[in-house]
Structure 1
Amino acid sequence: MIRFVALGMAALLMAVAFAAPFGRGLDTPGVRIYVMQTDDTALQVIYEWRTPERDAVFSTVPNGYRQEHWNIITPGLELVSDDNVDRIRKPGGGKFKRLELIARPSDVRLDKEYQPIAEYGVGGLLVYTGHLWPETKSGEYVNATFDFTPAAGAQVVAFGDRALRLENWRSPEAHPAFIYMGPLAPVETEDVMAVIDPQAPRWIIAEFNSLVPSAFAALSDVFGFSPDTKPNLFLSAAIDGEPGRLSYAGDALPSQFQIMLRGGAWARPNRQARDVFTHSTIHEAVHLWQTGARPRTDDTPEWIHEGAAEAIAGEVMVRLGIWDGAAFERNAAAARNECATTLENGSLNGASARGDFRALYVCGQVIAEATARADGKTVADFWKALIERAGEEDGYTEEMFYDLIEARTGDEDFAQAVRHFARTPLAEPAVEISRLMDAARAASS
């Protein structure tokens, strides 16, 4: 999973520079955020604004996360929620310059949302800065720097940085990021800097260490470039209990992705576990390349990139000799069948709003593979072109996606068929999927 967010122009212009202390330099942040690990499961967070503010505004996190897991320490401040934002303010009005709170992880994983704080191995926490970062009234992140202080004996890992403390830190990607604080030492290779939970089964660690170099080399080849920033990878596992459970949760950000494995079915190598781990890990890795084409607007459908990541992961599995053609087609057929089931509940473009997140993956994969068939090329080839066009036009939109389909296939009817498939509630989804694939074959002939 990957989501993209908007930053304010000031934050974008200054994101690659380290901020000077308050009162010095043109890149002085509006707020400095101190994040301190107090124990294995809690963070002390202090906000210091350069000028007094009437409220601190944050995008709402699902399931009332802040209401349940933030404890405001500063007297005279309250947390309220309205209009899809959480606000911290003085009940009677007035301004403040300092806010202190305690934040803890949630026991419940949030669907299609980055986990604000997650326990990561013994004594470790993985923090998503986006949920700690205040926003402007227009929904952009404010100009901010972060200080990260891990617990005694621990260290902080962020991209290529690993230190006892980070001060006045900004992400090199001008985007929210994952930050690890804990005792685990990162492993740096030519391809990545990885933080790997030693509790993960040995076969998983061996699979991870073997897969990453070959998958990254294949992705660099099919996309024609490598990420500018050495990627940060995080792998954790909690495999005791629930013997039959096989849960893989992955989240990606520009130049970072993290994997959380849960369930006893990971304990020993087996075909299903190996297949899920390999395909899902390559899917998350694909997102590192897809960030070369960020959506221009927040309402650009997620199925465009999630479905493509599913399809490209399959192409890479074949390229690496992990799957043969028959295995690839079985995966594609399974996606078509599951897509038909999910679309019985409504349109693909409406899937996120109704919480039908699997549709984004399997139906997006159906569209990606149909488009590749019509194009006569691979899904990765199509995305190379989308990345190039998005770079010329400040991101991609849904309409740009359809326009590129028409431009590459030379078939307006097929592009219109894809648009109809995504936007329209389908009375007979299985029939419509067959029609889409037939239209793709016709476009390629």
Structure 2
Amino acid sequence: MRTFLISTAMATSINLLINLPAIADEPGKLPAQMQLTRIAADKWRADYSFSEAISRFSMPAAGDYRSTAWKPLTSGVRYQAEPSAQPDQQKDSYILDQPVRQLSFEIISYNGFAPKNYAPNNRFSDGGAGIYMGFFDGDVQEGGKTRAMNLTVSYQGLSGETVIPPPAFADAERSLRAYAYFGPQKPAPAGAARLVLDPATPEWLAKLILDTTSTMSAYFSSTYQRPLLRELVLMISVTDTSTAGFSMKGGATNGQITFRLSGKAMLNEHPAIRHLVQKLVAHEMAHIWQENVNQGGIGDEPAWIHEGGAEAMAVEALKSTAVWTTEEAAAYQANASATCKKITRQSDPYQYAYACGLQKFMNMNVDIPVLWRSLISETGQSGQPYSEAMLGSVSQRLRQ
């Protein structure tokens, strides 16, 4: 499967439908369609069509995104926030006065971040925009029953612009956990990947991102001996260059990498920024190869497996391609080891996943590419996610 890229210079708009392989619905899932249309530079319209009339539409909460940026266009619809003591149980709901099969929303650009979640919008200085599609899925009430949706999405852009949908997966829900791009750019080749780069990116940083992306994608493709199942697109946007410092937020979604840059420190070349960007590109690309399977991959197992694993894969890639010197790689590993000694999984689960995860992989004394080639093959064949049990059995086999 691959991501579809469509662009046109004609005066007609673009209408793209992701045709996913036919799969049997899970019991109880309600078939639904949605078209996301860009109707103005900072405005979209989401038109839902349900196979049965619904009385309620609920989605996992995303901060104040929906209360501030979403406006129901269908009459007789009211918004209701549903708090919960469990953050992952909080919802944004739309209550309907009468059951309907059609439901429409107008959505304006939103510059904030959903707490501990993806940025709903990544805006580019040339008018382009990345829209996180995971915030459009949810469940509905139909006939008094709560049902998940089997949602298929089509995309329509402004006249003449490029539209890049999320990478297509057999699992329609998984296909939505990524960004759709609307804008003037056509992705530029970058090794085994393609790159949409904000023109506001400083020249030195743009060159660094392009060079690192090309080098890392070529390395992972060659070393892990698995052609990508989906075309890899990286989207780099710049939010501002006036605030202090430097920020690079984002990461890998399903078959895609997005970064959102900000801060005036990026205007001038700086070794610390160079080092950080190189590591982040390599780390997120490692996740792409971890997920380069038809089934299996990253699941709900401890985060140190995939995050520490991506750290180990990234350091090995940077060292093997001479993007980092042997001394720089050793210094990074030593810093991770020092950090790990100061924390526990309970005291700092975020740092634990990265620093202690890297330390755990270093302690296995197994060649990292050999180990991860075996793990990727194992999860692809079994359909089971990466786990401590899988890691233990594969590493033990390789040491024999």
TM score, norm. by length of structure 1: 0.73
State the shift of 1:140 in Å.
Answer: 9.3
- How far residue 320 of structure 1 moved from its aligned partner, in angstroms, is 1.0
Aligned-pair CA distance for 1:173: 7.4
* 2:376 aligned partner, one-letter code: I
Q: Which residue of 1 aligns with 2:379?
A: 390
Distance 2:389 2:58 in 1: 32
Structure 2 CA distance, aligned partners of 1:211 and 1:288? 15
* CA distance, structure 1, for counterparts of residue 341 and residue 146 of structure 2: 36
**CA–CA separation in structure 2 for the residues paired with 1:135 and 1:298:** 22
1: CA distance, partners of 2:263 / 2:271: 16
Quick one: distance in 2 between partners of 1:79 and 1:85?
14
Please identify, of 393-402 and 328-337, the stretch whose mean Cα deviation from structure 2 is larger. Answer: 393-402
Q: In 1, Cα distance between the equivalents of 2:203 and 2:234?
A: 17
Please give the secondary structure, in 1, of the residue aligned with 2:149: coil
Aligned partner (choices 354, 359, 363) of residue 370 of structure 1: 363
Correspondence for 1:69 = 69
Q: Say if 2:348 is the partner of 1:359.
A: no
Q: For residues 260 and 327 of structure 1, what CA distance do their matches in structure 2 show? A: 26
How many angstroms does 1:64 deviate by?
Answer: 4.2
On the 8 A contact 1:121/1:199 being kept in 2, the answer is: yes
Q: Structure 1: how far apart are the matches of 2:170 and 2:215? A: 25
Contact 1:55-1:87 within 8 A present in 2 as well: no
Instruction: Provide the secondary structure at the position in 1 that maps to 2:392.
Output: helix
Matches within 5 A, 1:121-140: 121-135=125-139
Whether contact under 8 Å (1:173, 1:254) holds in the other structure is: no
**Higher relative contact order (CA closer than 8 Å, sequence separation 6+):** 2
Q: Specify the alignment match of 2:287 in structure 1.
A: 287
Give me the whole-angstrom Cα distance separating, in 1, the residues matched to 2:263 and 2:275. Answer: 16
Which SS does the other structure have where 1:50 is aligned? strand
Query: 99, 102, 105: which one pairs with 1:101?
Result: 105
> Equivalent residues in 2 for 1:111-126 (5 A)?
112-126=116-130
What SS does structure 2 have at the residue aligned with 1:30? strand
Query: In structure 2, how many angstroms separate the alpha carbons of the residues matched to 1:316 and 1:140?
Result: 44
The structure with the greater share of residues assigned to helix is: 1
Counterpart in 2 of 1:436? none
Q: Is the 8 A contact 1:191 1:216 kept in 2?
A: yes
The match for 2:163 is 156
Aligned identity (percent) is 20
Superposed, 1:39-438 pairs within 5 Å as 39-61=40-62, 63-80=63-80, 81=82, 84-86=89-91, 88-90=93-95, 94-110=98-114, 112-135=116-139, 142-158=149-165, 174=172, 175-176=175-176, 177-188=178-189, 191-243=192-244, 245-292=245-292, 299-343=300-344, 346=346, 351=349, 357-371=350-364, 373=365, 375=366, 377-378=367-368, 380-396=369-385, 397-409=387-399
Which residue of 2 is the match for residue 420 of structure 1? none
Contact 2:296 2:382 in 1 (8 A): no
TM-score where L is the length of structure 2: 0.80
Contact 2:124–2:239 under 8 Å retained in 1: no
Looking at structure 1, the residues matched to 315 and 129 of structure 2 have their Cα atoms a distance apart, in angstroms, of: 32
- Which string of whole-angstrom CA distances, capped at 9 and with x for unpartnered residues, describes residues 263-300 of structure 1? 11111222111111111111111111010366678532
Cα displacement string for residues 342-365 of structure 1 (whole angstroms, at most 9, x for unaligned residues)? 42x7267xx2xxxxx333222222
Please tell me the residue identity of whatever aligns with 1:392.
Q
Q: How much has 1:335 moved relative to structure 2?
A: 1.2
Assess, with a 3 A threshold, how the Cα gap between structure 1 residues 136 and 287 changes in structure 2: closer, same or farther.
farther
Work out whether residues 250 and 258 of structure 1, in 8 Å CA contact, stay in contact via their aligned partners in 2: yes
Q: CA deviation at 1:150?
A: 2.1
- CA 1:43/1:338 → structure 2, altered by over 3 Å: closer, same or farther? farther
CA distance in 1, matches of 2:147, 2:121: 21
- Is this contact kept in 2: 1:386–1:404, CA < 8 A? yes
Cα separation, 2, equivalents of 1:182 and 1:153: 9
Q: Is the 8 A contact 2:69 2:107 kept in 1?
A: yes
1:190 positional shift: 6.1
Structure with greater strand share of residues:
2
Instruction: List gaps (5 residues or longer) in structure 2.
Output: 1-18, 24-29
**Per-residue deviation at 1:171?**
5.3
* Cα RMSD, aligned residues only: 3.1
Aligned residues: 364
Residue identity in the other structure for 2:262? R
| 2: CA distance, partners of 1:364 / 1:53 | 45
